[in-house]
Structure 1
Amino acid sequence: INPDEAYRLRITPDSILIEATTEKGIYWARQTLAQIVESSDGNSVPALEITDWPAFRIRGFMHDVGRSYISVDEIKKHIRLLSKFKINVFHWHLTENQGWRLESNVFPQLNDPVHYERHHAQYYTVAQAHEIAEYCRQHNMLLIPEIDMPGHSAAFVRAIGHDMQSPEGMKVLKRLMEEICTEVFPDAPWIHIGTDEVQFTNPSFVPEMVAHVRGLGKKVISWNPGWAYRSGEIDATQLWSYRGKAQPGIPAIDSRFHYINHFDAFGDIVALYNSRIADAEKGSDDIAGGIVAVWNDRLLPNDEQIVLQNNFYPSMLAFAERTWCGGGSEYFDKNGTILPTDENDAVFNGFVDFEKRMLWHKKHTFTDEPFAYVKQTNVKWRITDAFPNDGDLLKSFPPETGIDDTYEYNGIGYGSHN
């Protein structure tokens, strides 16, 4: 499985040997070796032999910069830090109703401040796009730029004056995709074209755009649900809703339940760590892997708050381990965001082990970075049944004066559980 990323690392008393069939494998071996050195006593490293490879070939993160601009330096930092944990895809969601975040020299009106609803005229220049693409290459990371079409395109309509599905809009969009594919991202093998959350008024739009982008030498990804493809009509789909299903003959990227913009720092991470990717033990021709998405529906004041309030780094470490190792105990359909209460449970102990290693990285790898996680597996919660406040927030109930197994309120019994 995934031999292009496999490696063998051998440490003996007098040498360190790395073996791999590609530069990708060499890069991942170096990341493993760096972690071994960083976690050693500073004087020696253990003799060992590791043969390793990923369970899934797509292990990524997505930033929605269309809604909220994120600085180039911040994006590069995420690429650099996450590549240490073998995350290998950066999905760059560049366009939204709120703004067109990519410079166009052919249609400069797209970047006019009047056509933005958020972060006016904050966009990435062609030179900055080249810089990030090169930075991804240096860190063994595949860049997938996304130009969402024909939905989520209000910024395009404001600037161009035509709906994307109209003949005039399609003409502009095709020329724009030529610029993006040949001048902005000439070396990117994939382009994501969106197609989600939109009413299709032109049945020719999606087939024509897929053919056009393919004709420019790119493979095409589309959201699912979105346009209804058959095998051969698209190169990969990205599942974003529980309604999205993997299809035979079309590689699927799982982002169902992988949105972390819930502002739940201690819930999402448990589900991400314990849940299988696409409900599969390991990848296959049809199951490529997964991508964690940060959707900036809520406007936050700066880059730091986007990282902090979305619990970005802890969630990505959980996802990095699951996508590399495979397996998992469920698919968001059993305990979900809740850890088992039995301390002898294998699922509980697996998360305890992960938490210990994650907190080590919080201290050593993510020093001074916004990392919204503290140890929680030692915390015991006791949850009471719901008491009826009848809309009166000033009412007081028995647990406020003392903790017990059972309570009585207005002649009715209420229980509690661990």
Structure 2
Amino acid sequence: MQAMKLRIPKALAVGAVAAAMLATTGCGGILGGGGDKTADSGPIKIAAVIPMSGSSAPTGVYMKNGMQMAVDEINAKGGVLGRQLSLDLEDGACDPTQAAAAANKAVSNGAVISVGGYCSGATLPTLPIFAKANIPMIIPAANSQELVNQKLPNVFMINGTGSQQAAAAVKFMAKDGVKSVALVDDNTSYSKDIATETKKDLQADGTVKVALATSVTAGESDYSSAVHDIMGANPDMLYWTGYYQEGGLIINQLKAAGYKGKIMVADGSVDPSLVKIAGAANAEGVFATMTQTPDTIKGAETWIANYTKAFGSAPGPYSTQSYDAVRVAAEAMTQAKGTGGDAVIKALAGIDGFQIFSGPLKFTPEHTLSSGGFQILVVQGGKFILKDALA
């Protein structure tokens, strides 16, 4: 049976983090030097714990390809510090236990920096593992506020946070004339985080009424109970903050029940699979809060063409962020003049103006982007396209 995305509530996610931390202290010292290795020869190993199996595997492929593209380009120009980069790809499967094991494996393999992280709930248990090994983490996709709240000095995020996504959602709802909204999450760290922040922002603003706030159990096939509750609340808009597998099913079943209101999804549902699962007609007109995708980036045509030529298919969500994560890692090691964890972490914190797809990079004191870069997409003709470029 394929491993699925994280299907646990916040309390269990915290427990998984604690378990992972215990694992790092009881493994006979295998984590002793990952981020402190100062060997000046041989390939520089970069860890990438991303989903290569389970329902999020399609996104994992986009991420892997984006990372490999950056590695290949950097190596073709001589590498970093005269050494070639080597991508250590480990399958996290969006599962906390498997992701923790994958992180431990990457550390024991000699990785000196991490550029992975898609599902927030599966990324959380890897934080203490990489922190114990003093390995810097540049997270390209996972964006739960819980990642920031750990306040670990080695963790940096180049995707907008859940709080920033919620703010973008609220701004668009008000702009689009929405009067009431149903908030539905799947109880994972990522999904619950966005729903909670959105509800808080809506209540503070007062323009849009929260008609319903509820959670579903991820991994099921029948969401009739949630559909019944949504129909009963009769909101102008449904905002689904979970992943595309469940999101597609909810949209399909909601439309079958006669729902006529607007639908918006969070970034975990921005994938062609959502349209397939929901049905093209049902998905038409669905909005999404999302950071940049290749198709919405001005001037990315050459990059898209190069990606397509290299991998035989067009790039998808988080391919550009993953590409940039590797580039940022290379820049930090270059500025640090080495791969030691402390020096690279200091270099990352000091980056000012390094150009990535979202603009000149400068981390906040919390090691997040100063602007989340969220925009509004809409499904037209079966594809997510740009609707509104929010600040």
TM-score, with normalisation over the residues of structure 1?
Answer: 0.25
